[in-house]
Amino acid sequence: MNDIEKRIEDLIKEINYHNHKYYVEDSPEISDFDFDSMLKELESLEEQYPQYKKNNSPTVRVGGEAVKGFNEVRHDVPMLSQQKAFSKEEILDFDRRVKAVVPNAKYVVEQKIDGLSVSLEYENGEFVRGSTRGDGITGEDVTQNLKTIKSIPLVLKDTIPYLEVRGEVFLSRDNFEKINSILEATDQALFANPRNAAAGSLRQLDPKIAAKRNLDIFVFNIQQIQGKEIHSHTEGLEFLKEQGFKTILDEKAYDTIEQAYSRVIEIGEERGNLYFDIDGAVIKVNDIASRELLGNTSKFPRWSIAYKYPAEKQTTVIRDIKVQVGRTGVITPLAILDTVHIAGSNVSRATLHNLDYIREKDIRIGDTVVIQKAGDIIPAVVEVIKDKRSGDEKEFEMPSHCLECGAEIVREEGEAAYRCTGLNCPAQRMRNIIHFVSRTAMDIEGLGPSIIEQMLDRGFIETAADLYYVKAEDIADMDKMGEKSAQNLINAIEKSKTNPLYRLINAFGIRLIGEKAAKTLAAQYKTLDNLRNATADELTQIDDIGAKMAESVVKFFNETQTIEFIKKLENAGVNCIDESENDIVDKRFEGLTFVLTGTLEKYKRNEAGAIIENYGGKTSSSVSKKTSYVLAGTEAGSKLDKANSLGVKVISEQDFEEMIK
């Protein structure tokens, strides 16, 4: 072994050791800086000497190449579900069935993690495959995504010939909130609860996305093992802990079902103080030989049962209803409550979702109500106790203007949500800036949500226009920065000043105005000043600009915040003129409308769309009888079906290339 190979092996051992101390034992011995330095050295050596890179190197935790789909995995040992109990009587019945076969059975109790069940397989001590439970018999190979979970050991302490364990992948409550904050700020659909977020993250085709989600895991069972005998569940999990796994189990076994049930109730009382979600507690027979005697049904083991906790509810009084502005501008009514203790925490506020929800349940200020924590996280009002009304209760009215910034609050036709229209509304600054710098808008490379959040926190910016006044020395000491990175970012911001006008219009985030409409408006009006002075009647004369879009544009440019925002951009030297040449020489697609669907091999959809528009054609997101062609790639879905049903001509990528030769 040469010096380079030995250094790589030493780094891997040291990084794995400190990774385990940090993510499993929660007792780090070195600083984040020192850990990152070792990881960077390893990455550099592996890049220079790829022949020495190990399959289970710690560098795989950042995620590898995206996959096209997941392969099926057939489980040698079925991953069965749990029989469920909702009362003490059902637990006692379970005990009677067990004792009829194993009179001296002892039990263990563990928290039932609300996550996604997976199998981890190891050969000669190395992690070789990970898969989802699926239907219990067949799951999906998600090995690369599981490698990004830092609490999963890639190499075990001992060289065990073969080991398969079962665990539950989950997302901590803090990480769940962070992910939803980013999704909300970028106008993406939010996850309903941590379990959905964990499942969605683990099934990402791109492991780099899974890596960013900071998933975690608790291992709770040995499915198969070769080279070692395990006699009890507690012994097995102690062994797994020694091998580097993060396990979840009380240290003791219980002699009676009454003792086990008491522990189940204790866990239920503790769940509000946990950093992860549980939806119950599991009672298991401890002895492995006894489990084999008891056996399984086709659906679940006869040696274990899951007690499911009921959703906790409390009664309280609504003292007021206030509104808060979300990062997308949505106005959410909040009930201000007499404080009550529920699911482990004190609750003094509850969401009322929207005005329609308030009217449907006839919720009023002063009402006595029942609240419940949805998924043990977000309190919600679920019922009004109308018998307790005194007649002094008041109906809630949605404010007409935002309490944060004073801008008008509007409700679009067909939507339940009310929204603040303020460009500089403090409550939605993060979302507005993220959109402003995004790829289809001003395309400022390197300016991600975490950097924007730090700039806002430090007071360097209040709006996206302030980005053009930030200096490299201001941001050099921020996390994940440095002098070089700071200067590169400032260069990217400076470069964006020369973007075409349509990018700036799209970056404004005007409701109903996307990239395509922004191009149309830039081509029609040529300067931002001309567009700002356009009337709704003038705007509706333009093809593809409807009445609602026109009204949205006029409202946006009449806001005081918008006027001040644009003035800052102009003073910074941001381009506000359309200098593109509109005369299309080759108009072969003039009068034709294309819809793109599926995955193309040689082009991204926006690239193919740009080609169509450069030849005078139009693109649309929906298929109708007016559609000229549907350009269908692989895995085309409902749009292809609709095209066929309407008799619209469908072309392949090869056909498209023939058309543009």
Contact between 514 and 506 under an 8 Å Cβ cutoff? The reply is yes
- Provide the token pair at 359: 């009217």
Q: Return the pLDDT at 173.
A: 83
Pairing of strands 618-620, 629-632: unpaired
- Stretch (H or E) spanning 268: helix 257-270
Pick from 465-469, 561-565, 595-599: least confident: 595-599
Cβ(294)–Cβ(98) below 8 Å? yes
CA dihedral (644, 647, 651, 655) in degrees, to 10, reads 150
Q: Does 575 score more than 60 pLDDT?
A: yes
Share of residues in the chain with pLDDT > 70 (%): 94
> How far apart are the C-alpha atoms of 195 and 181, rounded to whole Å?
16
pLDDT at position 589 over 60: yes
Give the residue-averaged pLDDT of 29-37.
74
**How large is the greatest C-alpha to C-alpha distance in the chain, in angstroms?**
89
Question: How is residue 192 written in tokens?
Answer: 């309903």
Calpha distance 370→385 (Å, rounded): 7
The pLDDT of residue 215: 94
| β-bridge partners, 333 | 323
Place of tokens 């679940």: 300
Strands 409-410 and 345-351, by their bridges, are unpaired
Reduced to 3 states (helix: H, G, I; strand: E, B; else coil), residue 372 is strand
Q: For residue 376, what is the DSSP state?
A: T
Average pLDDT over residues 305-322: 90
Measured CA to CA, the distance from residue 621 to residue 633 in angstroms comes to 15
pLDDT of residue 188: 67
Name the residue with tokens 């499911």. 308
pLDDT at 37: 77
Q: What is the per-residue pLDDT for 344?
A: 55
Structure token pair of residue 604? 């991204």
What local confidence, expressed as pLDDT, does residue 129 receive? 95
Give the integer Cα–Cα distance in Å for 183 and 174.
14
Confidence of residue 362 (pLDDT cuts 50, 70, 90): very high
Q: Which of 220, 309, 221 is nearest to 271 (CA)?
A: 309
CB of 56 within 8 A of CB of 22?
no
Give the pLDDT of residue 583. 54
| Interatomic CA distance for residues 408 and 371, integer angstroms | 31
pLDDT at 437: 94
What is the chain's Cα-based Rg?
Answer: 30
Q: Which of 72-76, 280-284, 414-418 bottoms out in mean pLDDT, i.e. has the lowest? A: 414-418
Query: Residue 618 pLDDT > 80, yes or no?
Result: yes
Please give the average per-residue pLDDT across 523-552, as a whole number: 91
Distance, in Å, from the CA atom of 246 to the CA atom of 23, rounded to the nearest integer, reads 9
Contact 595, 630 (CB under 8 A): yes
> What average pLDDT does the chain have?
88
Which pLDDT band, with edges at 50, 70 and 90, does 581 fall under? low
Q: Give pLDDT tens digits for 59-116.
A: 877 666 655 678 899 999 999 999 999 899 999 999 999 999 999 999 999 999 988 9
Q: Which of 587, 584, 534 shows the shortest CA–CA distance to 557?
A: 534
Residue type, 635: E
For residue 486, pLDDT beyond 80: yes
Residue 394 has pLDDT above 90, yes or no: yes
Of 408, 406, 424, which Cα lies nearest the Cα of 563?
424
Q: Tell me the pTM.
A: 0.57
Average pLDDT over residues 636-656: 89
482-495: average pLDDT: 92
Q: Is residue 388 flagged as an active site residue?
A: no
Q: Which listed residue (40, 53, 84, 112) is catalytic? A: 112
* pLDDT value at 613 more than 90: no
- Contact, 9 vs 41, CB < 8 A? no
Per the model's pLDDT, the better-predicted residue between 351 and 193 turns out to be 351
CA pseudo-torsion sign 541, 543, 548, 554: negative
The CA distances from residue 67 to 71, 135, 202, 206, in Å, are: 10, 22, 13, 6
Higher-pLDDT residue of 244, 372 = 244
What confidence tens digit (pLDDT) does each residue in 156-206 have?
999 999 999 999 999 998 888 788 777 766 666 677 678 888 888 888 888
> In this predicted structure, what is the pLDDT of residue 366?
96
DSSP string over 171-185: --HHHHHHHHHHHHH
Dihedral (CA of 320, 325, 326, 330) sign: positive
Pairing label, strands 313-325, 330-342:
antiparallel
Going by pLDDT thresholds of 50, 70 and 90, the confidence category of residue 521 is very high
